[in-house]
């Protein structure tokens, strides 16, 4: 559940995935590409070899016609296997998740294990995995050994989650992935939070408010 | 453990306590060339003096002001620069707070996982302990059942051997009984002759001769002597049988194993088949605390096995029974030069129910029961055998076993 305080509503989104799949890169590109009314700096916590140690954070926000401040806080988890405890803690209280998979053929096992660990961790931290807004992004489409899109679509045909094919390094489909999650998030929460009725925020307004007019 | 959420949004007053503010305020005021104040996000002062009409600059941690830096003396440029510097400080503090809270949360998570893991381990250990207890119980039950079965089997075999013995005895007793009965019949006829003599006493001499009473007088003592001999034999057989089966004695007794061997031999000798010879070479033995009734049966069976092996070979042969005492133990050897056993038969000889003979022809106790009795006496039994050459049974008993 998003955190409600007088005058503001905060959603927590988490970029989850195996080590080095491009979660931090996604966040950095989003920071460049988005232009919402309010945009903070990316807070990164990396070791010297660019691996996330605790988390990265990108804060965004816009004000609704009702005066309500909608805040989004985008986190990334550390992908390295050793940091499972940290991943679990970062995942707690998430309102939506982007799973960033590595498209490289030799990363298929890592993707599978990370996805399973995400499902397990959701249960452990009390998240309803079946109903959690979740987008699966296959990143690094530019790699020569990327698994072909048709093969991936075939394999995930029976899964309920939207798939995105991105190249975070070049900034491709990073915003699209984010937008897909925003729409799931809105549909999941609009009614219970009375976003449309009380605050006058439609799905389009929600999306454009966070992506920024120019995008 | 209560843990602060790592992803909470910090307030200025939470990041810098009064002491930290008191440390940073004066140099800030100095840089701002006069006065300075630090306000919380709702405008309430945390440090410094608030001069009406002073300029304020927002201190933003993420996207909203977390507080304000206020000064009336500084130029806008200086105030902005100071606010940026101060924000850098605040963000560094927030990063540190978030990282340490997350670390704590992760450690707690790991600890919870460990505790869960530990609880699971304890549960599975308990399961295994229960299982092993159940197993022990089941084994105990099985052992009891096995013991009961063995006891039943032993009793059945004992009955069988007692029955066989009784059959042998009956056969032996029949022979003397037969001639005692026939002698007595003859003597009755003789008495009839004397009765017939009485009316003819006048012509006594002629009658005496007609009735052939000379022969009667001559034959009667022979018949009586024969009868005596027969009765004596019956008495001896019954005595042997009694002492063999120990019907009249308690189970445990101090006994000389040679006596047991002699009993077994004397019982068997009465019905020794033709072509089989028993040779005994018994040397003095110290007395043993034992169950003589059981040992008698063991020796009886082993000797019978030897005789059977000789009969099976189709040749005449002999069973040698030897006993001696060494400083370590008492040794008994039974050797026959009968048919012998193949390696396969030898390997299975001690299995219960294993027999090389047709069902019903087993002689007395099986080897497995014989071994059990010997083991119960603290003894050992070993077999050596070669097909066509014969079999040797070695028995050893510790001295004075109870
Ligand atoms: N070829 C290619 N490389 C990419 C792409 N996206 C990210 N990378 C590279 O992959 C490496 C890891 O990227 P990060 O964004 O740090 O990955 P991460 O998922 O945050 O890694 P952890 O924090 O260790 O879990 C970097 O060298 C990126 O430049 C992409 O689309 N294509
Ligand atoms: Mg990272």
Give pLDDT tens digits for A153-206.
999 999 999 999 999 999 999 999 999 999 999 999 887 888 888 888 999 999
Contact yes or no for B62 and A83 at CB 8 A:
no
Question: How remote is the CA of residue A21 from the centroid of ligand 1, in Å?
Answer: 5
Q: How far is CA B153 from CA B147, B150, B158, in A?
A: 10, 5, 8
Side-chain half-sphere exposure of B233, counting CA atoms within 13 A: 19
The tens digit of pLDDT for each residue in B51-98 reads 888 999 999 999 999 999 999 999 999 999 999 999 999 999 999 999
Question: How remote is the CA of residue B182 from the centroid of ligand 2, in Å?
Answer: 120
Residue A133 banded pLDDT, cuts 50, 70, 90:
very high
Give the mean pLDDT of chain B.
Answer: 85
Q: How far apart are the CA of B19 and the nearest CA of chain A, in angstroms? A: 27
In this model, does residue B269 exceed pLDDT 90? no
Give the residue, out of A14, A24, A31, with the most ligand 1 atoms within 8 A of its beta carbon, to mutate for a pocket test: A24
> In this predicted complex, what is the ipTM?
0.85
Q: How far apart are the CA of A169 and the nearest CA of chain B, in angstroms? A: 25
Per-domain residue ranges for chain B? 12-117, 250-402
In this model, does residue B361 exceed pLDDT 60? no
The tens digit of pLDDT for each residue in A18-39 reads 999 999 999 999 999 999 999 9
Q: Find tokens 């984010």 and name the residue.
A: A178
Residue A94 belongs to what domain range? 3-211
B372-379 mean pLDDT: 86
B3-17 mean pLDDT: 85
The tens digit of pLDDT for each residue in B137-196 reads 999 899 888 888 777 777 666 666 666 666 667 777 777 888 888 888 888 888 888 888
* Overall size of chain B counted in residues: 402
Contact yes or no for B64 and A93 at CB 8 A:
no
pLDDT at A84 (0 to 100): 87
* All residues at 6 or more sequence positions from B149 whose CB lies less than 8 Å from its CB, including other chains: none
Question: How remote is the CA of residue B301 from the centroid of ligand 2, in Å?
Answer: 88
Pick among A85, A117, A120 to test the B interface (most B CBs inside 10 A) = A85
B330-367 burial, b at 16+ Cβ within 10 Å, e below that, comes to bbbebbbbbbbbeeebbeebbeeeebeeeeeebbbbbb
pLDDT at A191 (0 to 100): 79
Chain B residues inside the 8 Å CB shell of A39: 63
| In this structure, CATH architecture of domain B250-402 | 2-Layer Sandwich (3.30)
CATH of the domain at A144: 3.40.50.300
What gap in Å lies between CA B374 and CA B154, rounded to an integer?
13
Which stretch of B117-131, B139-153, B243-257 has the lowest confidence by average pLDDT?
B243-257
What gap in Å lies between CA B71 and CA B363, rounded to an integer?
121
The single-letter DSSP state of residue A144 is T
The tens digit of pLDDT for each residue in B290-311 reads 888 888 888 988 998 899 999 9
Q: How far apart are the CA of B61 and the nearest CA of chain A, in angstroms? A: 8
Question: How remote is the CA of residue A108 from the centroid of ligand 1, in Å?
Answer: 16
C-alpha angle B14/A14/B110, rounded to 5°?
A: 75
Counted domains in chain A: 1
What gap in Å lies between CA A99 and CA A163, rounded to an integer?
10
Pick among B61, B63, B117 to test the A interface (most A CBs inside 10 A) = B63
pLDDT at B356 (0 to 100): 60
B234-256 burial, b at 16+ Cβ within 10 Å, e below that, comes to beebeebbebbbbeeeeeeeebb
Taking the mean position of all CA atoms in its chain, how far away is CA A47? 22
B227-256 mean pLDDT: 74
B361-367 mean pLDDT: 56
Residue B219 banded pLDDT, cuts 50, 70, 90:
confident
- A86 → closest Cβ in B61, B91, B106: B106
pLDDT at A2 (0 to 100): 78
- A71 → closest Cβ in B63, B95, B110: B63
């Amino acid at each position: 559940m998003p955190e409600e305080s007088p005058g503001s509503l905060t959603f927590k989104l988490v970029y989850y995935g195996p080590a080095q799949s491009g979660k931090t890169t996604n966040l950095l590109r989003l920071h460049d590409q988005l232009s919402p009314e309010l945009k903070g700096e990316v807070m990164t916590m990396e070791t010297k070899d660019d691996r996330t140690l605790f988390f990265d954070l990108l804060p965004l926000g816009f004000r609704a016609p009702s005066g309500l401040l909608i805040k989004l806080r985008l986190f990334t988890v550390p992908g390295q296997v050793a940091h499972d405890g940290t991943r679990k803690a970062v995942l707690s209280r998430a309102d939506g998740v982007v799973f960033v998979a590595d498209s490289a053929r030799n990363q298929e096992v890592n993707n599978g294990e990370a996805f399973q660990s995400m499902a397990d961790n959701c249960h452990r931290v009390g998240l309803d995995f079946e109903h959690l807004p979740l987008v699966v992004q296959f990143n690094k489409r530019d790699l020569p050994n990327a698994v072909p899109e048709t093969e991936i679509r075939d394999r995930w045909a029976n899964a309920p989650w939207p798939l995105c094919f991105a190249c975070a390094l070049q900034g491709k489909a990073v915003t699209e992935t984010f937008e897909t999650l925003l729409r799931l998030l809105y549909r999941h929460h609009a009614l219970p939070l009375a976003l449309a009725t009380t605050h006058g925020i439609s799905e389009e307004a929600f999306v454009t408010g966070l992506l920024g007019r120019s995008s | 453990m209560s843990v602060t959420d790592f992803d909470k949004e910090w307030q200025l007053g939470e990041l810098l306590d009064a002491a930290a503010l008191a440390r940073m305020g004066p140099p800030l005021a100095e840089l701002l060339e006069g006065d300075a104040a630090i306000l919380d996000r709702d405008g309430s002062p945390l440090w410094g003096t608030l001069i009406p009409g002073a300029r304020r600059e927002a201190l933003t941690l993420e996207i909203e002001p977390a507080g304000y830096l206020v000064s009336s003396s500084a130029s806008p440029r200086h105030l902005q620069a100071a606010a940026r510097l101060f924000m850098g400080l605040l963000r560094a503090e927030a990063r540190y707070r978030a990282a340490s809270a997350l670390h704590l949360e992760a450690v707690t998570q790991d600890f919870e996982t460990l505790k869960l893991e530990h609880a699971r381990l304890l549960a599975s250990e308990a399961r295994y302990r229960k299982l092993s207890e159940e197993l022990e119980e089941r084994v105990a039950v099985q052992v009891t059942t096995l013991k009961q079965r063995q006891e039943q089997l032993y009793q059945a075999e004992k009955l069988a051997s007692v029955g066989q013995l009784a059959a042998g005895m009956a056969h032996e007793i029949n022979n003397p009984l037969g001639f005692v009965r026939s002698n007595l019949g003859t003597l009755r006829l003789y008495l009839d002759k004397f009765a017939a003599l009485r009316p003819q006493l006048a012509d006594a001499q002629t009658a005496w001769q007609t009735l052939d009473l000379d022969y009667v007088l001559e034959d009667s003592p022979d018949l009586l002597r024969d009868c005596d001999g027969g009765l004596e034999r019956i008495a001896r057989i019954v005595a042997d049988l009694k002492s063999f089966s120990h019907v009249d004695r308690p189970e445990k007794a101090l006994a000389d194993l040679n006596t047991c061997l002699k009993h077994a031999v004397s019982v068997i000798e009465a019905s020794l088949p033709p072509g089989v010879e028993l040779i005994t070479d018994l040397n003095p033995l110290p007395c043993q605390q034992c169950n003589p009734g059981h040992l008698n049966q063991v020796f009886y069976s082993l000797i019978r096995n030897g005789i059977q092996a000789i009969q099976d070979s189709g040749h005449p042969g002999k069973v040698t029974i030897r006993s001696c005492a060494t400083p370590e133990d008492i040794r008994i050897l039974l050797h026959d030069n009968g048919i012998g056993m193949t390696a396969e038969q030898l390997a299975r000889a001690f299995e219960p129910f294993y027999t090389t003979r047709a069902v019903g022809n087993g002689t007395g106790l099986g080897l497995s029961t014989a071994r059990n009795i010997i083991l119960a006496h603290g003894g050992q039994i070993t077999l050596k055998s070669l097909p066509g050459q014969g079999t040797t049974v070695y028995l050893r008993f510790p001295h004075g076993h109870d």
